[in-house]
Homo-oligomer: A and B are copies of this chain.
Amino acid sequence: MSEKKRRGGAGAGAASGSASKKPRVSTAASYAESLRSKLRPDASILATLRSLASACSKSKPAGSSSSSSASKALAAEDDPAASYIVVADQDSASVTSRINRLVLAAARSILSGRGFSFAVPSRAASNQVYLPDLDRIVLVRRESARPFANVATARKATITARVLSLVHAVLRRGIHVTKRDLFYTDVKLFGDQAQSDAVLDDVSCMLGCTRSSLHVVASEKGVVVGRLTFADDGDRIDCTRMGVGGKAIPPNIDRVSGIESDALFILLVEKDAAFMRLAEDRFYNRFPCIILTAKGQPDVATRLFLRRLKVELKLPVLALVDSDPYGLKILSVYMCGSKNMSYDSANLTTPDIKWLGVRPSDLDKYRVPEQCRLPMTDHDIKVGKELLEEDFVKQNEGWVKELETMLRTRQKAEIQALSSFGFQYLTEVYLPLKLQQQDWI
């Protein structure tokens, strides 16, 4: 290919060349460009989004009207079944009084000469079940005694009492701490952090409240921009005025209040590169939305934040992830939680997320050039096959089809593969067309 030819090729950002492979790059580029003409005026796309948003807000509690299981899942917190444990958010006063009750009971038990013992719910993997009705992983209610007057459990009972006392102090001071802070307050007793972490989870289950209710927070890495205002620790934040960098999602969700928005949907983005493109192009001004990303694997703070937005604003959530098994895995963490936080799953999960893109079928539909697709590794294929067996995939026929397409073609692609049609193709053509065609599943 001569330099001259290359220079004469397509414009900036568009892939050019005289490739003979199919689909040919230049053809693909001009086809991709032709899709731009399919776009209807924004007003028409906005009307589509408005009806989606209103359908979503009518189903109460939050959850799309099309998904009855999601509604049930969210309703379940109001009346947790006695046979399983779904812990819930509690305010500081409520957690404090629960701790007081536990400690009073222990004191009475000691005074009556019976010593004391904690009843600790089992968090073992064998005790974790997926409830299809709720679309969530929960803990079966099965408690074991942790008596102080037993050489096998004396140490753990002591640690439990200590953690209860530390949490009580944190709540009284009205501050937030990390797991690491907690560990360092009594290294001699805890020995290593795994022990204080484990007991913290026990305490969370014992008190029936989330870890964030205990004011023990995770570090945040998520960011948000778009049509959203909220108060972070009393400071009013307008997310349309957060530049390209966006607002860091706060680690302590209980300090978030006054959530308001005129958005029509929430756009959940897997990667920060796509987030940056959307933020710089101020995509939310053209299509009113809230854009957020955890920059890869979702952290607890971002999951809590997304759930709060979904519950309070009752907006549809559309996801933009890579077209690979890992992208779907990320969706599963947002939707169903991860195994090791199952007892807290109800408060961390956002059911009913729609898979907007990039989907395996998009690769041909948008004629993504062969060179921008990547072959799946053996590990990818293994993960993909495992996902096919997962309930959250199985219950959505569209997802099964997409995953089968991925495994059949053995091809994956990143969101950024769309850059082959121009740096702003994502925001100017791909996403608007997706929204116009209501192309989410």
Contact = CB atoms under 8 A, between A and B. Distances in A.
Interface of A: 1, 3, 6-7, 11-17, 19, 25, 148, 157-158, 161-162, 165-166, 168-170, 172-173, 175-178, 180-182, 184-189, 217, 219-221, 223, 231-237, 241-252, 255, 272-273, 276-277, 280-281, 295, 369, 371-372, 414, 416-420, 422-424
Given A234-B243, A235-B243, 12 more contacts: A6-B162, A15-B188, A16-B186, A173-B424, A176-B244, A180-B416, A181-B273, A184-B417, A187-B369, A219-B295, A237-B241, A247-B247
A250 B255 contact: no
B232 A416 contact: no
Given A178-B416, A247-B245, A248-B247, A185 B295 contact: no
Given A189-B17, A248-B223, A251-B276, A175 B241 contact: no
15 contacts: A12-B166, A12-B168, A12-B169, A15-B188, A19-B188, A173-B423, A175-B280, A180-B273, A180-B414, A181-B423, A184-B418, A221-B221, A232-B245, A233-B244, A244-B252
Contacts of A235: 241-243
A241 B220 CA distance: 18
B231 A6 contact: no
**CB-CB nearest 6 A-B residue pairs:** A232-B243, A12-B169, A245-B250, A187-B371, A184-B419, A233-B243
B184 A420 contact: yes
B245 A185 contact: no
A1 B178 CA distance: 26
Contacts of A180: 273, 414, 416, 419
Given A168-B12, A371-B187, A178 B148 contact: no
A420 B295 contact: no
Contacts of A233: 243-244, 280
A217 B272 CA distance: 11
Contact of A178 (B177, B237, B244, B273): B273
A102 to B, nearest CB: 14
Contacts of A12: 165-166, 168-170, 172-173
Given A3-B161, A244-B233, A273-B180, A187 B416 contact: no
Given A13-B169, A420-B184, A243 B255 contact: yes
A391 to B, nearest CB: 34
Contacts of A220: 245, 272
Given A184-B420, A185-B420, A372-B184, A242 B237 contact: yes
Contacts of A237: 241-243
Contacts of A423: 170, 173, 175, 177, 181, 185
Nearest to A233: B243
B184 A272 contact: no
Contacts of A245: 220, 232, 247-251
A132 B248 CA distance: 38
A187 B419 CA distance: 10
Contacts of A182: 419
A233 B241 CA distance: 9
B247 A255 contact: no
A188 to B, nearest CB: 5
